[in-house]
């Protein structure tokens, strides 16, 4: 077990930038619906409109996943099939991305109020 944990630090699995982007995307996905529902609390006048605006937050997460993370993992999958990347490196990348999902879920707690504030602002502009 300790050897496996130490092995996660080895390079060649997934870059820190992709891991951080995954943290951000998961945080946005996690907080999107909750923020749209919570946006009715600070400003009840836009409660109904705010409840339908989760796509403002979730859209950013979708773009991050589609443009950065999914192509990276797809390319790595192709590299494993062609033998350029080992199964161990690929498994290590998957572990890092799963861990970054957990970190993103925790980060979402900090993004709830700012995201709700953004949704209220958009609801007032509409």
Is pLDDT above 80 for 9?
Answer: no
15 band by pLDDT with thresholds 50, 70 and 90: confident
105 band by pLDDT with thresholds 50, 70 and 90: very high
CB 25 within 8 A of CB 104: yes
Q: Quick one: pLDDT at residue 69?
A: 94
| Cβ burial, residue 78 (10 Å; 0-12/13-18/19+) | exposed
Dump pLDDT digits (tens) for 25-47.
999 999 999 999 999 999 999 99
Please tell me the least confidently modeled range out of 12-16, 84-88, 99-103.
12-16
Is pLDDT above 80 for 12?
Answer: no
Contacts of residue 92, defined as CB under 8 A and 6 or more positions apart, other chains included, come to 7, 8, 10, 12, 13, 14
| Count of C-beta atoms within a 10 Å radius of residue 45 | 11
CB 39 within 8 A of CB 50: yes
Is pLDDT above 70 for 103?
Answer: yes
Distance, CA of 124 to CA of 72 (rounded, Å): 38
Is pLDDT above 80 for 8?
Answer: no
């Amino acid at each position: 077990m300790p050897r496996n944990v130490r092995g996660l630090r080895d390079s060649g699995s997934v870059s820190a930038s992709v891991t951080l982007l995954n943290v951000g995307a998961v945080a946005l996905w996690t907080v999107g619906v909750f923020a749209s529902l919570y946006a009715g609390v600070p400003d009840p006048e836009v409660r109904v409109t705010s409840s339908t605006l989760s796509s403002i937050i979730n859209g950013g997460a979708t773009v991050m996943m589609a443009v950065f993370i999914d192509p990276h993992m797809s390319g790595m999958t192709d590299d494993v099939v062609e033998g350029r990347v080992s199964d161990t490196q690929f498994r290590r990348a998957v572990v890092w991305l799963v861990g970054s999902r957990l970190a993103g879920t925790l980060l979402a707690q900090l993004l709830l109020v700012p995201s709700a504030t953004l949704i209220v602002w958009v609801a007032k502009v509409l």
